[in-house]
Each structure stands twice: as C-alpha cells, then as structure tokens.
Structure 1
Amino acid sequence: MKCTPSHRLLLLLTILLLQACGKKAEGPNSLSKAEKNEGWELLFDGETTNGWHVYNKGKLASIWQVKDGELYSNPENMSLETGDLVSDRQFEDFELKFEWKMTKGGNSGVFINVLEREDIPTPWASGPEYQLLENSHQDYTNDVKRPGCLYGFDAQKNRIESLPFGQWNQSRIRQVDGKIEFYLNGVLTAEKDLTSAEWQASVAESNFKGFPEFGKRISGHIVLQDWAKGVAFRNIKVKVL
C-alpha cells in the first residue's frame, strides 16, 4: 500500500497523541524528571494528608484539609481538632522547598528539628521557626518576625517583602550538619549554625530560655503551624542530603 502524505500526517498525529497521553503534565504537587533525578520527594501528594499527623494527637480528622491541590488550615471549622501538622518522618541533613499563601493578616510558620513528646506541649518549644507572615500583619514591622526570619532571633539577612495575601510565596530551608539557611522567593534571609556556642548563648538570652529542649537538636520532624487566620501550602518537597 502506497503511503500518501495524508497517511504520513495521520501517523504523525497518532504518535504525538500517544506520547501526550503517556506523559503526565507537570503541575502543582508533582515532581519533574530533573527533580526525581536529583532525589526530591513529595511530602504532600496534593490529595490527602498522608505522611502527616496532628502534633501529639496522631492521625485524626482536623482543621487541616486538602482542596484544589492545597493543604490548608481552615479556621472556619473549629468543630474539628486543631493543632500543628507534623511530618511522620524525621529529617537531619535535608533541603525543603514549599509554597505558601495567607489570608489577610495571616501568621504562621514552619518548624524544623521538632521533638514530638507528650511533655512538650507545642512544636515551638523544641523547633526553630521559619516565619511566615502576610504583609498587613502588625508584626510585619518587627525585624525579627518578618517572613523568612529565624523567628525571634535575627532580622532578614537580605531584606525582601513577602507577596500580598492570596499570592503564592516560595520558600526553601536547607540544613547540613546543623547549619541552616532560609530563603524567601529566591533570596537568602537567614543563616545559623545550630551547633555553635553563639546559638546556645542567643537562646539563653531569648524568650525561649525557659524551654529546655529548644534549639538543642539538629534532626527531627518538620511542622506546619496552625493559625486562626488560615494558611495554605502546596509543592512541599524534600531532598535528603
């Protein structure tokens, strides 16, 4: 049978269609081929809270919900269990990247190196915080409480604004041998060596001095903070280093 130009065109269209059907489009809460090759993993699958639980309460229905590919704390349904959301896994040397957005006046955070124990009532009693803050919040003018800060300790290393409410910010946390780096929208905002005498001295002079487990660890859980104003996350990805 002679292959006419129309046959060749039909064959080409068929091949392209089969390739398109076999290739999943990259969107929120997915890994690119490059990310997979680099060792990145999803900590949020875009559909469920699998891999997470409520601090000191385990896996139960809570105000943490998933809708339209977003993991969010719903402040309007207080009949459900409240609390911060904890990764089931613990991490030591790692890189974490995530996107977040706030309701107007929102305030939240991401804690690292958290020790989950019943006699420790809250994640911030053990884990340092990457501050999340919407730019109309009253704390936005406090240098050690601005978004991307190591909360309560240092001003932003390089000053940058977070995006207004309803817009997605991009954040990254990197920790190697207890040395941490925080980034907000591509800009380095904090650096600290959690194994240093300087760090321990700063903790001893801070509002956290009454919490004996605070800042002592260089491994632990990752925690998303529940807050009354509402916060949403997506594209939560981790790479073990």
Structure 2
Amino acid sequence: MMNIKQFFCLLCVLFILSNYGFAQNNFQHNVLSPVEEAEGWQLLFDGKSTSGWHLYNEGNIKSAWTVRNGELVCDPTIEKVERGDLISDSVFTNYDFSFEWKISEAGNSGVFINVQEAPEFPTAWTTGPEYQLLDNANMPKDYLIDGKHSAGCVYSLSPLLNQVQPKPAGEWNTSRILQQNGVITFWLNGIETGHEDMKTERWKQLIAGSKLGNFPSFGKAIQGKIAFQDWSKGVALRNIKIKEIK
C-alpha cells in the first residue's frame, strides 16, 4: 500500500510531466528569439498566411499551398485549384537559410535556390539547384543507390557528403542552406550533406553530366528566389527564416 511520502512523490512526477507536455504543446513556432533578431534573422513565414510567397509564374492566386496549424502546407486534399511551386517574392544573394519540413510516406519534394522566375522558364527547377526533401525509407533502393537523390543532397548533381537519414514520414526535420558568393552548403539535421562552388568548372561538368544539362539556364545564377516544390501527396514546412550576409 502506498504511504504518504510515496504518494507525494508520485504527485510531483505527474505535475512535472503535465507541465512538460503543456510546454511542448505550446512551444511557439514561426517566431524569432531576441538573439536571432539581434543577429539579423528574418522570418519568411509568419505561421498565419502565405504573405511573401506566390505561385511560380502565376502570382497571388488560390493554390494547393495553404496554412494550417502554423504550418505551410502543400495540401493533397484541395481540389480545383492551381498546383505549382511556391516562390518567394524577394530575391536573395548571400544568406543563411533554415527551415523545418515533414513529408508524406514515399514523399518527394524539394527546395530550389537562385530561381529565375520568367515566362520562358516553365518551372523553378529548370533554373535553380535543389535541396532534396525525401522520405528515404519508402523509396526504391535503386533510386538512392548513387546518393544523388537522397534527402539533403544537391539533387541529381552530387552525392551526400556524409550519410544521414531523414526522420520518418510525418516527423519534422531541420535543414539549412548557406550561400556565399555562389558557394552553397547544405545540412540535414545538423549533418553537412552538400557543398559545391557554382563558379567552378566542376559545377559545369556536374550539370553537363546530368539531365539538368538540357536546360541552358540551369545553375548559372548565384542569386535569385527561393521556391518550395509542389508535391501532390503532401509536404509541410515551418520555422522558415533567413539571415542575409552583407
């Protein structure tokens, strides 16, 4: 039988756990800390609207991109709307960019940088390199065999620098993209996964040796817009922020 001391200890444990759960459920996303503000970080997603973003080559029209529970979602259930990549209104050159993402089972999406938005370019991926968002665990093995399609890689161009697996489908991952004078570095969940200098002969050769070499404007610009790839089965993002490097 439980004595008074044991009962009191149990109450203390339950109180701590309940407050921990409350803190977890009420943790604020899509906000900057005072330190981040002092360092020059800016939010690119306010958690309430798609302000600052529009559909690639379409402008501010209703699309499958929506906001739900503080998440920027490409919703697979919305019908009779335009589908396409969501692109930033602003152009960025040198920056530190971070975001969190989760994807559906067998999901395949991406983040494009240095995107040139113009009618002559039908999609974002024909101009700007891609940070791959992928549910590795549910993809065919032959798709991942060369490492050039795994989550976190410089899509289709170079394999992962270090092996890292994304969280399972439906769980949040943390990603980071750093660009300085055309040198790009990718991280996934704190592990460096890609590093390329877009001004080198190596970069040109990587493009020429891939399907992206079919697009003359691909990978040439070292500034441009940021875009999130449409994924018909669902992808979500949050805590999207950037610090421009002067």
TM-score, normalising length from structure 2?
Answer: 0.86
After the TM superposition, which residues 219-230 of structure 1 pair with which residues of structure 2 at under 5 Å, given as runs? 219-230=223-234
Aligned residue number for residue 157 of structure 1: 161
- 2:201 aligns with 197
Q: Give the aligned residue type for 2:87.
A: V
The aligned residue for residue 139 of structure 2 is: 137
Match of 1:22 in 2: none
Unaligned regions of 5+ residues in structure 1, if any?
1-24
2:88 alignment counterpart: 87
Structure-2 change in CA distance of 1:141 and 1:79 (3 Å): farther
RMSD: 1.1
Task: Measure how far apart 1:85 and its partner are.
Answer: 0.1
Deviations along 1:154-205, whole A, 9 cap, x unmatched? 1110100000011100000000010000000000000000011110122122
Match of 2:21 in 1: none
The count of corresponding residues between Structure 1 and Structure 2 is 217
Percent identity, aligned pairs only, is: 47
Aligned residue for 2:207, secondary structure, equals: helix
Query: What per-residue deviation string (whole Å, max 9, x for no partner) do you get for residues 26-61 of structure 1?
Result: 610000011001100000000000000000000011
**Deviations 1:36-95 (Å, cap 9, x if unpaired)?**
011000000000000000000000110000010000101121311100000000100011
Residue equivalent to 1:172: 176
Deviations 1:99-153 (CA, angstroms, capped at 9, x unpaired): 0001111110000000001010001100000000012123345511000000001
1:99, 1:233 within 8 Å by CA — same for their partners in 2? Answer: yes
Q: 1:231 to 1:140 in 2, by over 3 A?
A: farther
Unaligned runs of 5+ in 2: 1-25
- Where has structure 1 moved over 6 Å in runs of 4 or more? none
Output the CA distance in 2 between the equivalents of 1:27 and 1:141.
38
Partner of 2:190: 186
Judge which range, 140-149 or 47-56, deviates more: 140-149
The residue aligned with 2:119 is: 118
In the alignment, does 2:222 pair up with 1:218? yes
Query: SS of the residue aligned with 2:156?
Result: coil
Q: Distance in 1 between matches of 2:46 and 2:159?
A: 33
Q: Contact (CA 8 Å) 2:158, 2:206: kept in 1 or not?
A: no
